[in-house]
Amino acid sequence: MRTFITYTDRVVHVHHPRVVVETAVAYGAPREALFENTELTPQMLTSPDMRISYFQYAMLSQNALRLTQNPALGLYIGRNTGVAQMGVLGFLLQNSPTLGAALDATLRYCRAIAPAWSFSAEIHGDVGSLTFAEQMPMAPLQRFAHEVILAAFDTQSRTLYGGRPLPVRRIELPYPEPEHAHEYKKLFYDVPMVFGQRIARVEFESWILHEPVAFADPATAKLAEQFCAQLLTLDPSQEGLVAQVRRILATQTAAPPSLPEIAQTLRTSTRTLRRELHKMRTSYKELVDESRRVRAEAWMETNSLPIEKLAEGLGFSTVGSFRRAFKRWTGHTPGALRSRAH
């Protein structure tokens, strides 16, 4: 049995596509036209047990963007994705004792609500950060998907904080600045918005995590926690395929494994693995290249190993091939980047 989810697995709760539909209709899209080529009907999105695939969700989203002609639609869909649209997890968030406890609950159970995303948080003194990354490639809807997540996070956080904005300091996003970037500051915060980064990250003042959630009930929180735990066991526990391959490659301390070795680890065939990666508009070669770049840049900043050892550790046959790859990745030679870092 394979251990990863794909675009065609039905793992998306109906809460999210329903918000897409209702928001698009509010912006002028004909309701029936939104369901074209999705194999879905409006009635399907009213069943609490219904799940749709990410392929269907993508088709629904593309229809919404086309019919509304609103490139910023993702921001408004996220704005309409409140605590209630988080299902039983939203019930737990509303009854968490503090905002920090609500964040912990989100990190524990987000896989059941958004299996195509990974979330992590870090606290360093008075600065905290929330990072969210695609476990399944979202292109060509990358910006749209990130805008939904960002706006939903803001909406839900404000709800838990009594309608007040969070003390956000900086927002980083992994795509070029869109023409409607002014909408970000209008809807969110007038803080630095840095586009073109490797991953999405929201930086905030960490004291906010100690703030209480108004009217939270501890007994209700325990009951909601039980429901969330059951929900997680019922939902697929697999990660997205690309996320699994990336994680395996990130843990390597020597040359990357071969495609058949990766397939064996993921309990699938080489042919199936290659086909599924192709469906996600990537390849094993591209993921290996990406992994090598990430490791090489990290080593350059933190490690004084000779270039020859770095090339060998990354699985390059010669130092020359490593130098050429590094120049292609970064626009700099390894020596120049190391000198600048130091």
Over residues 224-281, the pLDDT tens digits come to 988 888 766 544 445 677 778 887 887 666 678 889 988 888 888 899 888 888 877 7
Report pLDDT digits (tens) over 9-57.
888 888 999 999 999 999 999 999 999 999 999 999 988 888 898 889 9
Residue 202 Cα to chain centre, angstroms: 12
Whole-angstrom Cα distance, residue 75 to residue 153? Answer: 11
Q: How confident is the model at residue 302 (pLDDT cuts 50, 70, 90)?
A: low
Q: How confident is the model at residue 144 (pLDDT cuts 50, 70, 90)?
A: very high
List, in order, residues 6 or more apart from 314 with CB less than 8 Å away: 255, 292, 295, 296, 322
Q: Which of 101-110, 208-217, 324-333 has the lowest mean pLDDT?
A: 324-333
Pick from 189, 168, 161, 173: which is nearest to 100 by CA? 161
Could you tell me the fold of the domain covering 4-234? H-NOX domain (3.90.1520)
Question: CA separation (Å) from 170 to 16, 119, 167, 200, 241?
Answer: 26, 17, 10, 11, 30
Average model confidence (pLDDT) for the chain?
87
Q: Which of 73-82, 111-120, 200-209 has the lowest mean pLDDT?
A: 111-120
Q: Is 14 exposed, middle or buried (0-12, 13-18, 19+ CB in 10 A)?
A: buried
pLDDT for residue 234: 47
User: Is the N-terminal amide bond of 115 cis, ω within 30° of 0?
Assistant: no
Whole-angstrom Cα distance, residue 117 to residue 240? Answer: 8
pLDDT for residue 219: 94
Q: Which two tokens stand for residue 200?
A: 């999405």
Report pLDDT digits (tens) over 188-199.
888 999 999 989
pLDDT for residue 77: 97
pLDDT for residue 63: 97
pLDDT for residue 190: 87
Q: How confident is the model at residue 7 (pLDDT cuts 50, 70, 90)?
A: confident
Q: Which two tokens stand for residue 337?
A: 């980047």
Could you tell me the fold of the domain covering 252-341? Arc Repressor Mutant, subunit A (1.10.10)
Pick from 284, 172, 313: which is nearest to 334 by CA? 313
The residue ranges of every structural domain in the chain are 4-234, 252-341
Per-residue pLDDT at 168 exceeds 70: yes
Q: What is the mean pLDDT of residues 148-164?
A: 95
**pLDDT > 70: what percent of the chain?**
91
Q: What is the mean pLDDT of residues 270-295?
A: 85
More confident residue, 21 or 292: 21
Q: Which two tokens stand for residue 224?
A: 């909601």
pLDDT for residue 236: 44
Q: What is the DSSP string of 124-141?
A: ETTEEEEEEEESS--TTS
Tally of CA atoms within 13 A in the half-sphere of 308 that contains its CB: 0
pLDDT for residue 249: 81
pLDDT for residue 132: 92
